[in-house]
Amino acid sequence: MSKTEENKALIRYYVEEVFNKADWSKLEGLVAPGYINHSPVPGAPQGIEGFRQVVESLHAGFPDVQNTIDDIFAEGELVLTRWTARSTHTGTFMGIPPTGRKVTVSGLSIDRVVDGEWVEGWAEFDQLGLLRQLGVLPPAPGGSNDN
């Protein structure tokens, strides 16, 4: 298997076996201790502990979250993933009390994998759409908060 295929496999493994199953014990050896998050959550430290805090807080607000990889591409050390997350807001998330609403959010992640370890990442997702689906913001003109 080529390095680029190995790098894509690492990201797939993370999504399917770690994130979707909320199995943080598998982060060691997968995410580098000095991991750099270029899209940090306010207050979260860098490194593997910050990584863990971010995904744990997401799962606290959306315990049933499931992430689907829609497309995945790699070149050298970089892996680009287009993904869709689906969940129900049943816990507090970023100060927003549970709404019970089902949400669907799409995003893109670019991750750098070096020698089998995830060393840094950038992520962008539809934050405005998420807040509208949660009812925190009004719907888009002519639209609704439903996805």
Q: Is 8 helix (H, G, I), strand (E, B) or coil?
A: helix
Q: What is the mean pLDDT of the chain?
A: 94
The confidence score (pLDDT) of residue 44 equals 87
Model pLDDT for residues 55-86, shown as the tens digit of each residue: 999 999 999 999 999 999 999 999 999 999 99
Q: Is 111 helix (H, G, I), strand (E, B) or coil?
A: strand
The confidence score (pLDDT) of residue 26 equals 93
Please check the confidence at residue 37 and state whether its pLDDT lies above 80: yes
Q: Average pLDDT in the 26-32 region?
A: 92
Q: Average pLDDT in the 96-108 region?
A: 98
Please check the confidence at residue 145 and state whether its pLDDT lies above 70: no
Residue 50: Cβ within 10 Å count: 18
Please check the confidence at residue 146 and state whether its pLDDT lies above 80: no
Q: Average pLDDT in the 116-143 region?
A: 93
CA–CA separation, 6 vs 14, rounded Å? 12
The confidence score (pLDDT) of residue 4 equals 95
Which residue type is seen at 133? Q
Please check the confidence at residue 100 and state whether its pLDDT lies above 70: yes
Contact 5, 71 (CB under 8 A): no
Contacts of 4 (CB under 8 A, 6+ apart): 74, 75, 76, 79
Tokens of 57: 């807080």
Domains of the chain: 3-133 (3.10.450.50)
The confidence score (pLDDT) of residue 141 equals 85
The confidence score (pLDDT) of residue 147 equals 59
